[in-house]
Amino acid sequence: MTAIAPPTSIDATVKLLDSANYVADRALATSVFLMLKMQRPLFLEGDAGVGKTEIAKVLASTLGRELIRLQCYEGLDIAQAAYEWNVQRQLLAIKASERTTGGHIETAIYSDEFLIKRPLLQALQGKAGAAPVLLIDELDRADEPFEAFLLEVLSDFQLTIPELGTITATEPPLVVITSNRTREIHDAIKRRCLYYWVDYPNAARELEIVRRKVQRVRKEDMFKLPGIAETIDWTRALTALDVIELSKENINDTLGVLLKYQDDIHALRTRMQTVLDESKSQ
Ligand SMILES: Nc1ncnc2c1ncn2[C@@H]1O[C@H](COP(=O)(O)OP(=O)(O)O)[C@@H](O)[C@H]1O
Ligand SMILES: [Mg+2]
């Protein structure tokens, strides 16, 4: 993975997202451009399925960066989000040094090798010029105290581990925070970020999104490629089933709407994960 420098204009940002089949309007592309340029976290709020998480994935894949994902949930704590000491290994090290030195502990048990690095800490340790994308997904699911902790990390891109010291990022990670807005996120967090409300696409953009996904299927070597009628049927079927995110399962279950030959269906099923990954981010 070779890190690519961020785009230098809004037009270039539109192109970048487009190259990964992400259909963005100019306002969103502007926010993404600014986030990269100003090195500020991007806070994306919107209903489920409107393409918030996908932005982070697309940024990572197009800029050749590692994607570090912190999925938020109720009860998420620092141990899961930032770091944890590997107590078991520490105890073993103490026992081992007791054996060799007769009680005198020489091993520094609060050192890097005993540290379990979770997403927030990992994200601060990227190489210069290759800062990772840090996706803090569905922050509204975490509890409010966690936000206070997060604020510290996002303010200075540093994290203090009492036993070890302060770890500062050589280069700030590219941070994308998402929220489905099941509750309001604290103002202090929002103030640190650039904010963008991701709305449902208009008809033209939605059509474009569907077109891209179906065209990816058309690249497969098939006996009978899906035609326009099949595309429309398929969209209807997915809508009827309330599908908001394409997954292996729901594509599998609806393939008969898109393809009409058993050999084609079988061929696509076996390559489903690849096709799905490629249609999401190329
Ligand atoms: N603008 C878009 N361009 C291309 N695909 C999109 C776009 N918006 C959403 N999608 C697709 O819709 C699905 C849901 O997007 P996702 O990012 O998971 O939604 P959210 O995180 O907002 O719930 C994904 O399969 C994604 O590829
Ligand atoms: Mg999401």
Give residue-wise pLDDT tens across range 27-58.
Answer: 999 999 999 999 999 999 999 889 999 999 99
Contact, 165 vs 150, CB < 8 A?
no
Helix, strand or coil for residue 70? strand
Task: Provide the residues around ligand 2 (an ion) whose CB is within 5 A.
Answer: 53
Element (H, E) at 31: helix 26-38
**Span from the CA of 89 to the centroid of ligand 2 (angstroms):** 35
Give the residues across from 165 on adjacent strands.
Answer: 161
| Sequence-ordered strand ranges (E) for the chain | 42-45, 67-71, 83-85, 115-117, 133-137, 158-161, 165-168, 174-179, 194-197
pLDDT at 216: 80
CB 170 within 8 A of CB 126: yes
Mean pLDDT, residues 5-18 taken together: 96
Using pLDDT thresholds of 50, 70 and 90, give the confidence band for residue 255.
confident
Contact 78, 70 (CB under 8 A): no
Alpha-carbon distance 253 to 246, whole Å? 11
The pLDDT, as a whole number, for residue 103 is 60
Tokens for 277, please give them. 């990954």
| DSSP letter, residue 128 | T
Cα–Cα nearest to 132, from 202, 212, 69, 54? 69
Q: Is the pLDDT of residue 277 over 70?
A: yes
Going by the DSSP 8-state scheme, the letter that residue 142 receives in this structure is S
pLDDT band, very low/low/confident/very high, at 259 (cuts 50, 70, 90): confident
Q: How much of the chain, in percent, has pLDDT values that exceed 90? A: 60
> What confidence score (pLDDT) does residue 246 get?
78
137 CA distance to ligand 2 middle (Å): 6
β-bridge partners, 8: none
For ligand 1, pick from 211, 212, 245, 281 the residue to mutate: most ligand atoms within 8 Å of CB. 245
Dihedral of CA atoms 235, 198, 139, 120 in degrees, nearest 10, equals 100
Among candidate residues 179, 76, 164, the one with its CA nearest the CA of residue 125: 164
CA 40 to ligand 2 center in whole angstroms: 20
Residue nearest to atom 17 of ligand 1 (CA): 51
Least confident stretch, 12-21, 127-136, 139-148, 232-241: 232-241
Judged against a pLDDT cut of 70, whether residue 134 lies above it is answered with yes
Residue 102 pLDDT class (50, 70, 90 cuts): low
Q: Which ligand is nearest to the CA of 61?
A: 1
Residue 125 clears pLDDT 90, i.e. is over it:
yes
CA 189 to ligand 1 center in whole angstroms: 24
pLDDT score recorded for residue 22 = 94
In which element (H, E) is residue 249 found?
helix 248-258
| Angle separating helix axes 248-258 and 272-280, nearest 10 degrees | 100
Residue 104 pLDDT > 70, yes or no? no
Q: Is the pLDDT of residue 179 over 80?
A: yes
Pocket-forming residues, ligand 1, beta carbon under 6 Å: 21-24, 46, 48-54, 178, 209, 245-246, 280
| Residue 138 banded pLDDT, cuts 50, 70, 90 | very high
Measured from the alpha carbon of residue 138, the closest ligand is 2
Residues 10-79+118-197, CATH architecture:
3-Layer(aba) Sandwich (3.40)
Q: What are phi and psi of 162, to 5 degrees?
A: -45, -45
What does the pLDDT read at residue 282? 43
Answer yes or no: are the C-beta atoms of 61 and 131 closer than 8 Å. no
By alpha-carbon position, which residue is closest to atom 8 of ligand 1? Answer: 51
Give the integer Cα–Cα distance in Å for 65 and 168: 19
Q: Given ligand 1 and candidates 14, 42, 54, which is best to mutate, with the most ligand atoms within 8 Å of its CB?
A: 54
Indicate yes or no: pTM above 0.85: no
Higher confidence at residue 185 or residue 245? 185
Q: For the chain, what is the mean pLDDT?
A: 90
Q: Is the pLDDT of residue 23 over 50?
A: yes
- Return phi, psi of residue 237, to 5°: -60, -45
d(CA 28, CA 34) in angstroms, rounded, equals: 10
Banded pLDDT at 202 (limits 50, 70, 90):
confident
